[in-house]
Amino acid sequence: MTIITPPELPELALDFAPVAIYRGGGAPPGGPSPGAPPVGLAGRVILGGPVAFPMTAKRYPDMSTYITADAPHHHYYEVHLSLSFRDGGQPPPLHTVTLDVELSGTIGAQQPIAWSMAPSRIDDADDRAVKFELQPQIKIAGVEASAGTVTGTVNRAREPFLLALGELSSNPVWELRRTGPPLAGRQRFVLVVRAAKGVDTDVDIEVTATTKTTVLRRFQALPAPLKLQARL
């Protein structure tokens, strides 16, 4: 296996605007309720990245057999992202934060996909120190550093702190949920993108958040300057 060393990432503090309010489990309206008090989330979520590296046989000698064999058909890229939280006890606390990645290529061509993504699941926010390893077929293994997490028993009945969705699709998503103390610190993400040979790939990133007191409020990061596009 090859250990992935996370690079330094450029960071952007996000601002958010309310897009829906859920009341009593009913269908969400198209926007916030009239007279709803403003909720400030500016600067409480920081997006890092994306930083991407082409995956070549020279750069990844342990993966060279697989990369070379698939080179006539596909290119692979290692993409790094992060979310950092500065809740600072400000009300209302963040309930969930979602990192949504949209991969797209030339219309009519085979579309790029999330070949592998990590972490795939973290049950306890206290055990989220993760090291990333690449396996021979360019699949990422996210291994928690905590010995207790590796050898202990995990209660799968509770909602996880982090869950990855959409692997092998063009829309990989990471969902983070407050399961105890407020969301804090920094969470790293690694994505391997597979793209058709000779096709440019765009990466669009969207971050949404919810807060929860008596009402669950949903927010979307403002499109400027959030909307990022990276040509791989």
Report pLDDT for 161: 93
**Structure token pair of residue 139:** 């699949």
Give the global pTM. 0.86
- Residue that has been written with the tokens 């993504």 in this structure: 117
The average confidence (pLDDT) of the chain is 84
Share of the chain above pLDDT 70, in %: 81
The torsion angles phi and psi of 224, rounded to 5 degrees, stand at -130, 125
Per-residue pLDDT of 25-50, as tens digits, reads: 544 444 444 444 456 788 899 999 99
Most trustworthy range by pLDDT among 12-26, 103-117, 213-227: 103-117
Per-residue pLDDT of 87-128, as tens digits, reads: 666 778 899 999 999 999 988 889 999 999 999 999 988 767
**Structure token pair of residue 181:** 């103390």
Domain of residue 205 covers: 2-19+43-222
Q: Quick count: other Cβ atoms within 10 Å of Cβ 157? A: 5
Q: Residue 112 domain-assigned?
A: yes
Report pLDDT for 89: 67
Spatial separation of the C-alpha atoms in residues 124 and 122, rounded to whole Å: 6
Q: Residue 229 domain-assigned?
A: no
Spatial separation of the C-alpha atoms in residues 48 and 11, rounded to whole Å: 4
Q: Residue 130 domain-assigned?
A: yes
Indicate the number of domains in the chain.
1
Q: Residue 77 domain-assigned?
A: yes
